Homo-oligomer: A and B are copies of this chain.
Amino acid sequence: MAKSVNKSVIFLKYPQEFPVPGEHFEVQSHELKIDLKDNDVLLRNLFISLDPYMRGKMRNTDNSYTAGFKIGQPLDGAGVSEVIESKNPAFPVGAIVTGMVGWEEYTVVAGAKGLRAIPNARESKIPLSAYVGVLGMPGLTAYSSLKIIGQPKAGETIFISAASGAVGQLVGQIAKRLDLRVVGSAGSDDKVEYLLKELKFDAAFNYKKGNILESLRAAAPEGVDIYYENVGGETLEAALEVMKLHGRIIACGMISQYNTQNPYGVKNLVNIVGKRITMRGFIVSDFAAESGADFARDVGSWLVNGEIIYKEDIAVGIDNAPTAFVGMLQGKNFGKQVVKIADL
């Protein structure tokens, strides 16, 4: 089983705007040295997750809420992997696990730190990639924040930006289950059609066509109680215009602001006072203790029973990870972006 070469995506340079493969990160092959100590495991990575927050780690900053990536080291993120060598009795060879791994073919995890075994992984109907998507971090993000910050009530209207993405598509489906009126925005007509036809959103629009505020007004003529914020900038400004009294803004992310040196100035925050809006930011780990168990039970059973669906965009091969990552930041992904590195 021992391998001698490992292909990894190495971080080269801090980007100012969109990262460029070859300039800011690139695939390199290095000798794989395996010298497992007690409790260490060697993983063969099957899937890795590409997530917007990783762009925030491509910064040379100490005071950021997550430590940055290190120049010259592999990028890392959530993965699904097979244990192929083990000095850890809890994770024997053949176990399928999730946890933080490098963007690479093989990862040694010292002390098996942070790994979680997926029980019955080889027999389950659930695709392994789900464990970094709908059943992983993005899923918990959607489930916990909608409930805790959104305080959704039947009959209310929710507006979700980046609605076809990893987080957005689950927020929308949970909101439908709770009898909310669900409105979404996305960056292509295909995505909008998916929201309307497959996910049964009540209204949806392509924010790249026409004026965002006008589109939102038409889609939510009665106003919006909850804005699920993934995007920031002009979309946030439009949402503030149509929010109702006592509205809630779930500040999950502002991806339109991650790759620019010219951030958008939001001019109508005064609505937060007059409309008594609560806008609250969070990081999913804040809610893991409170929501983790309910999430795994509920979303797990909805998925197995076909009560929710989940679209993934799967790039194949570690060589394609850098391009897939930039594509995801630019909206080329349709559904949760993952990279398949190897077959089980």
Give the B-binding residues of A (Cβ under 8 A). Answer: 56, 64-65, 232, 236, 245, 251-254, 257-258, 263-283, 286
Contact = CB atoms under 8 A, between A and B. Distances in A.
A276 B283 contact: yes
A262 to B, nearest CB: 9
Contacts of A269: 232, 236, 251, 254, 257, 266
24 contacts: A56-B274, A64-B274, A65-B275, A232-B269, A232-B270, A251-B269, A251-B272, A251-B273, A254-B273, A258-B270, A264-B267, A265-B265, A265-B267, A272-B279, A272-B281, A273-B283, A274-B281, A275-B281, A276-B280, A276-B282, A277-B280, A277-B281, A278-B278, A279-B279
A254 B272 CA distance: 10
A245 B63 CA distance: 10
Nearest to A256: B270
B276 A279 contact: no
Given A65-B245, A265-B264, A270 B282 contact: no
Contacts of A273: 251-254, 281-283
Contacts of A278: 278-281
A272 to B, nearest CB: 4
A56 B277 CA distance: 17
A132 to B, nearest CB: 21
